[in-house]
Amino acid sequence: MASRKATELLELHARMKTQRQHFERVWQDIEDRINPTDVQFNNDREQLQKGRQRTEKVFDATPGLALDRFKAAIHSLVTPRNQMWSKLKAVDNDLAEDPEVNTYLEEVNRRLFAARYAANFDSEVQGCYHAGGKFGSYGMFVGERPGRALFYRAVPMKQLFFAENEYGEIDLVHREFSWTARQAAQKWGDKLPEVVRDASTRRPDQEFKFLHCVKPRSDADESRRDYRGMAFVSYYVCIDTNEIIDEGGFRVFPYAVGRYDLNPGEVYGRSPCMTILPDVKMLNEMNRTTIQAAQLTLLPPLLAHRDGILDALRLTPGAINYGGVDDQGRQLVQPLNVGGDVRIGLEMMDQKRAIINDALLQTLFQILVDKPNITATEAMLRAQEKGQLIGPTGSRIESEFLTKMQERELDIMSAAGQFPDMPEVLRERGGITEIEYDSPLSRAREAEGGVAILRTFEQLAPVAQVSGPGVFKRFNMDKVAKELARLNGMPSKVLYTDEEMEELDEQEAQSNQMSQMLQAAPIAASAAKDMAQAQALAGAAPGGVAPDIFATGG
């Protein structure tokens, strides 16, 4: 039975769909020419057939390949699987060096990283980066799976609708999706409308439309421990029957939404593919035209005498066409010279491909491949340039997408008791921590410090030849080595910790002391021997009085 609340939610959803119609037209153009097997925004039933190939408008694979590489590059730079790219740290400076707090936070970081990659994060986040390159907006639902802690679902842009609050943060999400009656019965059971319950037994593969709405709860009762006391309210609506089938809540917003770039006054993001869409269209048209020109060159139209009695031409290799020459041996059939130059088309297409590759960051990532034999300083300069160019994009991914995702992860795992007990000193400060990113991209943004170190040493090397190595006393070489190792991405497990370095320094000091003692032993032994001999000679002298060997004068 339809409800007033369901009607209000569906009316709001209809307005949200209307507000982004212009974006959807652009997104569909991108789909048609870059990723035609993934139809998103066309409501034509025939076009929405699953598995249907739609390559009529695609004549060049460069944009699609560049987009795949863009996804892989962002993934490896921001969230690489083989390293811990983010960690929690204490906000208060006086707790930053507390051993108990640091041990606790290291264990939390380790468990969070393990749980994330034990789930399906790695595959789902790649779908988000792919959507960000195409549409400029992307989102992921972070949920709790009984017995397995975390699970992730990259939400297709066709399903994802969102709005900002007064601070420009995404705090309202609508997700419109289709499930089979069987899937719906597995999740909601007897809560489903009767028509869906009947279909789950008679036609379990029949699809129905549903809407998930999450927004801030305006009437939250903090004294309650159930969903009515949570910060965000959640509704599931069956669109086909206009009924709310489930109401719940979340302590932390469950959708992490990111935007590649954002124009003032707009809610949905802008993407590299939106920028290069005219070039993609032009490249496809140029490719089609060049193909036609090549065909005309290789298989041109034929000119024949109109009175000729020549039979149909046979154009296969080695074929014989009788009547193709006159009595004087002149050809009666000649090719039409269209006068085109295919090379011009090829050059123009290469220019368009370069623009597309540049917009999707391929030129930037090709630098080290094209110039593998560069010095360490040059490599650091390249990393610095990469960090400066991709830095704004990475910062938005970290602050808007990954931070929201990790807040939700921490809430789920904390509620499930999967973290160790918090130290009392941190609990007294409210348990407040912050997220610090240590990904290849964050290090590239900091590469300027490494460049400064290397340049300084290069400039001081000639000075040291004149004034001596004392010019380097100003530098803490241990910290310099540690910082360069971090900026170059050296794994921390191959470096000594501060405690291990203290032990090594102590062992080295003891070893040096022992060496000095061993070196001094022969000298001391010789001096003792000389003293003994002198005393023996003095005892043998008349009077038995030892001479004063240190006396001066007569």
pLDDT, position 47: 47
The rounded distance, in Å, linking the Cα atoms of 440 and 437 is 9
Question: What is the Cα–Cα distance from 363 to 341, expressed in whole angstroms?
Answer: 29
Tokens of 546: 């030892």
Q: Is the dihedral of CA 338, 341, 342, 348 positive or negative?
A: negative
Q: Is residue 319 part of a domain?
A: no
Give the C-alpha separation, 76 to 81, whole Å. 8
163: left (phi over 0), alpha (psi -120 to 50) or beta: beta
> What's the pLDDT score for residue 332?
75
Q: According to the model, what pLDDT value does residue 280 have?
A: 93
Q: Is 252 exposed, middle or buried (0-12, 13-18, 19+ CB in 10 A)?
A: middle
Q: Is the residue at 358 inside a domain?
A: no
DSSP 153-176: EEEPTTTEEEEE-TTS-EEEEEEE
135 vs 268: CA distance, rounded Å: 9
Burial bucket for residue 384 (CB in 10 Å: 0-12, 13-18, 19+): buried
pLDDT at 510: 83
Per-residue pLDDT of the chain in tens (554 residues, 90 and over written 9): 568 899 999 999 999 999 999 999 999 999 988 888 766 776 654 445 666 667 778 888 899 999 999 999 899 889 999 888 999 988 887 887 788 898 899 999 999 999 999 999 999 999 999 999 999 999 999 999 877 689 999 999 999 999 999 999 999 999 999 999 999 999 999 999 999 999 999 999 999 999 999 999 988 777 777 888 899 999 999 999 999 999 999 999 999 999 999 999 999 999 999 999 999 999 988 888 888 888 777 777 777 766 655 667 777 777 777 777 777 778 777 777 776 677 888 888 899 999 998 888 887 766 545 555 666 666 666 666 666 677 778 889 999 999 999 999 999 999 888 999 999 998 888 888 899 998 888 877 776 677 777 778 778 788 888 888 888 888 888 887 877 777 666 666 677 777 778 888 888 888 888 777 777 777 766 766 667 676 676 666 555 555 554 455 44
Of 492, 411, 489, 436, which is closest to residue 87 (Cα–Cα)? Answer: 436
Q: How far is CA 393 from the centre of its chain?
A: 10
Helices 181-188 and 194-202: crossing angle, nearest 10°? Answer: 120
Dist CA 279 CA 288 (whole Å): 14
Is 137 contained in some domain? yes
What is the domain range of residue 165? 4-40+57-276
The structure's pTM equals 0.78
288: number of Cβ within 10 Å: 14
The DSSP secondary-structure symbol of 247 reads: E
**154 within some domain:** yes
3-state SS track over 33-86: HHCCCCCCCCCCCCCCCCCCCCCCCCCCCHHHHHHHHHHHHHHHHHCCCCCCCE
d(C-alpha 161, C-alpha 170), whole Å: 10
Q: How many CA atoms lie within 13 A of 424 on its CB side?
A: 0
Tally of domains within the chain:
1
Measured CA distances, 12 to 27, 40, 181, 360, 408 (Å): 22, 21, 25, 35, 26
Instruction: Output the CA torsion sign for 363, 365, 367, 371.
Output: negative
Helix (H) or strand (E) holding 145: strand 137-145
The per-residue pLDDT for 168 is 92
Query: In the prediction, which pLDDT does 98 show?
Result: 83
Q: How far apart are CA 61 and CA 349, in angstroms?
A: 12
> Measured between alpha carbons, how far is 382 from 374 in angstroms, rounded to an integer?
10
pLDDT of residue 554: 44
221, amino acid identity: D
Distances (CA, A) of 282 to 84, 96, 272, 330, 422: 42, 56, 16, 44, 59
- Count, residues in the chain: 554
Inside any domain, residue 251 = yes
180 within domain boundaries = yes
The answer as to whether 250 is a domain residue is yes
- Residue 62 falls within a domain, yes or no? yes
- Provide DSSP, 370-435: H--S--HHHHHHHHHHHHHHHHHHHHHIIIIIIHHHHHHHHHHHHHTT-SPPPPHHHHHTTT-EEE
C-alpha 120/C-alpha 304 separation (Å) is 67
